[in-house]
Amino acid sequence: MPTLATDFSDVTRSEASLRRFLHGLPGVDQVGAEARAAMLGTRSIKTTAKAQALDLAIRMVDLTTLEGADTHGKVRALASKAQRPDPADPTCPQVAAVCVYPDMVATAKETLGASGVHVAAVATAFPSGRAALDVKLADTRDAVEAGADEIDMVIDRGAFLSGRYLQVFEEIVAVREACAKPDGGSAHLKVIFETGELQTYDNVRRASWLAMMAGGHFIKTSTGKVQPAATLPVTMVMLEAVRDFREATGHMVGVKPAGGIRTSKDAIKYLVVVNEVAGADWLVPEWFRFGASTLLNELLMQRTKLTTGRYSGPDYFTLD
Amino acid sequence: MAARIDVRKTYKLYVGGAFPRSESGYSYPVEDAKGTFVANAALASRKDARDAVVAARKAFGGWSGRTAYNRAQVLYRVAEVLEDRRPQFVVAVQQSEGLSASRAGAVVDAAVDRLVWYAGWADKLTQVVGGANPVAGPFFNLSTPEPTGVVAVLAPQESSLLGLVSVLAPVVVTGNSAVVVSSFRRPLPAVNLAEVLATSDVPGGVVNLLTGDAATIGPWLAAHMDVNAIDLGGVRGLEPAEAGDALATDLEVAAADNLKRVRRAPAAEPDFTATPGLDTMTDFVEIKTVWHPMGV
């Protein structure tokens, strides 16, 4: 990796310098990355280690509902589930956050209260990101004012793919400023790349550095609205980026794969990759999240299987 | 001319309409009635059973939602394909059960006839066991049988084809989906039947056939919270014989956890050549009764 000063003002001074920096990042060996991710996915995690992994994965879930048909009632139900995922088992931990559209933030916040479960809101014309900057910023401010603890923004993939990196950079910086709260704090900013639209791993690595330099607290793979969504190799490339960024600057950035992670086996594979690529420091809900809706029930079923010794079924858990 | 080299077969399971190997990676040698090696069969593990239940649950909605008439057609189609493959099944039954060619042929014919018989019941059972009930009030009161759900079937150990068809057909004809554990020592007719099911019109996942030991897979199916009923017939004939009673009791206890319907293990394996009664079907249906006000 190139040696970096913590201050990136030299890099982000102009379109040309930013492009030079991003294109100067080492390329990703596609075959090697996929082979390594597949190899890490073969690790066998059993018994007590599996029980710990399942509980950790539950604590890392951003329980998500992003449908046009969402209602206040559904968000309230989801928020209740976030606090007590398995009502039959008080030892089951609560999830990290619920993730909703900005107009549902107040409802979610009301139900969650001081439970410690965060409210994340998708903003900036999610999921396409096709709106004027003013609209995106207003969207963000709305969500923050309604009480969102975390903002999930989408980057302008059109600008990124046409090489207008500085525009993307400045947008992220502007959204980050819009995350400021009146009390002096700030909502955490997650930057969604929509890796399914970025075409190459090189682009994923460039987008990761761009978002980290712009001050994103988290980098997130996908909106969940585009296929392919999160994959193991893409997440691995992003984990390498956050690891290198910490080495270069001392700053930690979190990672959130979202979309397409449905089974507890998949979730455990991601945890293995986190541990092997970024390190154990990232194995906490503050630095790694799963964006998911159906995954939680799968984790709960596996958890029940481990505690009771018999296979459970979907009838015994709430829908969504 | 050089002697031809044997084609040594290792069969696979039938789960969700596909033929996967056992998740465990194990297979076991299958011998014919004289003790000669015939082929390897996949040794299903508890995780194969779990996958089969998931596949059966997924298929249940579509299968139970079909018209009874259509299910009859599908079952009849299975009989047709089975009839077309008669020579293959005669050999499999001969090898498995040690019968003469003519006796084995009679067994295969009986299995085909049994499928046709149950296919005919698909759109008639409702009339026979359901009905309009006279009630003391201004209501239409109607009872209809509905499928129980995912049914685990421990197939008979001795009668490897006719017995298998006789316990499987009544389960699926009413709209249930099935997870079947075949005869442990005589799995080849079940393996061949899987190939018949895959090439007839049965949707994937409606029937899942596992070859392996009912004594090891049975407890996981009996305790599985997403299985709605279990047929314990295959417990009889497992070795050692005296372990069968204890196993049957254990499975019944495990099945009580989510109030599964249980068909108890018989004292001895029944004679499957006899014409079955309706209880083979009614054991795995739920009677739903609706009250509808008159004159509204």
Using CB atoms within 10 Å of the CB of residue B126, give its burial: 0 to 12 exposed, 13 to 18 middle, 19+ buried.
Answer: middle
Catalytically active residues of A are: 152, 220, 256
Interchain contact, A310 vs B223, CB within 8 Å: yes
Mean of the per-residue pLDDT values of chain B = 96
A46 at interface of B, judged by CB pairs closer than 8 A:
no
Query: Which candidate in A303, A310, A312 is best for mutational testing of the B interface (most B CBs within 10 A)?
Result: A310
Interchain contact, B223 vs A309, CB within 8 Å: yes
* Domain assignments of chain B as residue spans, ordered by start: 27-293
Q: Which residues of B touch A313 (CB under 8 A)?
A: 57, 224-226
Q: Which residues of A touch B226 (CB under 8 A)?
A: 311-315
Enter the tokens of residue A81: 């589930």
Using CB atoms within 10 Å of the CB of residue B102, give its burial: 0 to 12 exposed, 13 to 18 middle, 19+ buried.
Answer: exposed
Q: Name the residue type at position A160.
A: F
**What backbone torsions phi and psi does residue B34 show, to the nearest 5 degrees?**
-95, 0
Three-class secondary structure of residue B153 per DSSP: strand
Interchain contact, B225 vs A309, CB within 8 Å: no
A215: left (phi over 0), alpha (psi -120 to 50) or beta: left
pLDDT in tens, A180-209: 998 889 999 999 999 999 999 999 999 999
Enter the tokens of residue B124: 């008639």
B182 close to B154: Cβ distance less than 8 angstroms: no
Cβ neighbours around B10 below 10 Å, total: 11
A190 close to A150: Cβ distance less than 8 angstroms: yes
Interchain contact, A311 vs B57, CB within 8 Å: no
Q: Name the residue type at position B56.
A: A
Three-class secondary structure of residue B208 per DSSP: strand
Interchain contact, A311 vs B257, CB within 8 Å: no
pLDDT in tens, A268-294: 999 999 999 999 999 999 999 999 999
A102 close to A142: Cβ distance less than 8 angstroms: yes
3-state secondary structure A2-18: CCCCCCCCCHHHCHHHH
Question: Looking at the 3D structure of chain A, how many domains does it have?
Answer: 1
* Average pLDDT for B140-152: 97
Q: Which residues of A touch B254 (CB under 8 A)?
A: 310
Dihedral over Cα of B80, B85, B90, B92: its sign: negative
The domain that holds A45 is classified in CATH as 3.20.20.70
Three-class secondary structure of residue B180 per DSSP: strand
In a domain, residue A74? The reply is yes
pLDDT attached to residue A1 = 37
B243 close to B94: Cβ distance less than 8 angstroms: no
Interchain contact, A314 vs B57, CB within 8 Å: yes
Query: Which candidate in A311, A315, A316, A317 is best for mutational testing of the B interface (most B CBs within 10 A)?
Result: A311
Taking the C-alpha atoms of residue B85 and residue B196, their distance in angstroms, rounded to an integer, is 8
* Average pLDDT for A100-122: 96
* Average pLDDT for B247-264: 95
The whole-angstrom distance between A315's CA and the closest CA on chain B is 7
Per the structure, the complete domain to which residue A191 belongs is given by 17-308
pLDDT in tens, A217-226: 999 999 999 9
Enter the tokens of residue B211: 């070859």
Interchain contact, B220 vs A310, CB within 8 Å: yes
* Average pLDDT for A25-49: 96
Burial code (b: 16+ CB inside 10 Å, e: under 16) for A31-61 equals eebbebbeebbeeebeeeebeebbbbbbbbb
* Average pLDDT for B246-271: 94
In a domain, residue A9? The reply is no
Q: Name the residue type at position B276.
A: P
pLDDT attached to residue B118 = 98
Residue whose pair of structure tokens reads 């049914």 in the numeric block:
B151
Interchain contact, B223 vs A314, CB within 8 Å: no
Three-class secondary structure of residue B7 per DSSP: coil
Q: Does domain B27-293 have CATH number 3.40.50.2300?
A: no
Residue-by-residue DSSP string for A59-83: HTEEEE---TT--HHHHHHHHHHHH
A288 close to A282: Cβ distance less than 8 angstroms: yes
pLDDT attached to residue A6 = 61
pLDDT in tens, B185-200: 999 999 999 999 999 9
Burial code (b: 16+ CB inside 10 Å, e: under 16) for A143-158 equals bbebbbbbbbbbbbbe
Q: Which residues of B touch A310 (CB under 8 A)?
A: 220, 223-225, 254, 257
CA-based nearest residue to A203, from A247, A253, A168: A168
Q: Name the residue type at position A67.
A: E
* Whether residue A5 has pLDDT greater than 60: no
pLDDT attached to residue A2 = 42
In a domain, residue A144? The reply is yes
Q: Name the residue type at position A154.
A: V
Q: Which residues of B touch A265 (CB under 8 A)?
A: none
Q: Which residues of B touch A311 (CB under 8 A)?
A: 50, 53, 220, 223-226
In a domain, residue A165? The reply is yes
* Whether residue A3 has pLDDT greater than 50: no
* Average pLDDT for A25-54: 96
Q: Name the residue type at position B128.
A: V
Q: pLDDT exceeding 70 applies to what percent of chain A?
A: 98
Q: ipTM strictly over 0.90?
A: no
With CA atoms as reference, the chain A residue closest to B46 would be: A311
A189: left (phi over 0), alpha (psi -120 to 50) or beta: beta
The whole-angstrom distance between B177's CA and the closest CA on chain A is 16
* Average pLDDT for A71-90: 95
**What backbone torsions phi and psi does residue B9 show, to the nearest 5 degrees?**
-100, 140
pLDDT attached to residue B241 = 76
> Residue A122 pairs with which residues in a beta bridge?
A152
In a domain, residue A281? The reply is yes
pLDDT in tens, A246-261: 999 999 999 999 999 9
In a domain, residue A316? The reply is no
In a domain, residue A315? The reply is no
Give me the residues of A, 202-231, that contact B with CB < 8 A.
none
Dihedral over Cα of A287, A288, A293, A299: its sign: negative
Interchain contact, B226 vs A309, CB within 8 Å: no
* Whether residue A162 has pLDDT greater than 90: yes
pLDDT attached to residue A178 = 95
pLDDT band at residue B243 under the 50/70/90 scheme: confident
Strand order in the sheet with B139-147: B131-132, B139-147, B285-293
pLDDT attached to residue A40 = 96
